[in-house]
């Protein structure tokens, strides 16, 4: 909800407080970050998700590729 209203810091704060995260919550956060042009944060989310041991799905990879294309970070893609 916070991210929809471009309250990215608040959205990240709520996300950090979640007791459990699943691939769906990571994808939702990343999708909103992409929508608002927060590409560095989106890449950080992907790295944090990997560190948490969350297995990516097709949406995760689509978000990753969109971010890399938008940020001109083809090497990360």
Backbone angles phi, psi at 29, to 5 degrees: -65, -45
- The conformation of residue 19, written as its DSSP 8-state character, comes to S
Q: Is the pLDDT of residue 41 over 70?
A: yes
Q: Is the pLDDT of residue 25 over 80?
A: yes
Distance separating alpha carbons of residues 29 and 26, to the nearest angstrom = 5
Structure pTM? Answer: 0.71
- At residue 71 the predicted structure's pLDDT band, cuts being 50, 70 and 90, is low
Distance separating alpha carbons of residues 30 and 45, to the nearest angstrom = 7
Q: Is the pLDDT of residue 75 over 70?
A: no
What is the arithmetic mean of pLDDT over 37-51? 84
Q: Is 7 helix (H, G, I), strand (E, B) or coil?
A: coil
Residue 14: what pLDDT?
Answer: 78
């Amino acid at each position: 909800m916070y991210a929809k209203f471009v309250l990215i810091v608040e959205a990240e704060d709520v996300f950090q407080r979640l007791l459990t995260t699943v691939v769906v919550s990571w994808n939702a956060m990343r999708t909103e970050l992409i929508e608002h042009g927060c590409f560095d944060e989106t890449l950080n989310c992907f790295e944090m998700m990997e560190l948490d041991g969350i297995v990516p799905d097709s949406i995760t990879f689509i978000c990753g590729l969109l971010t890399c294309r938008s940020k001109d970070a083809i090497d990360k893609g």
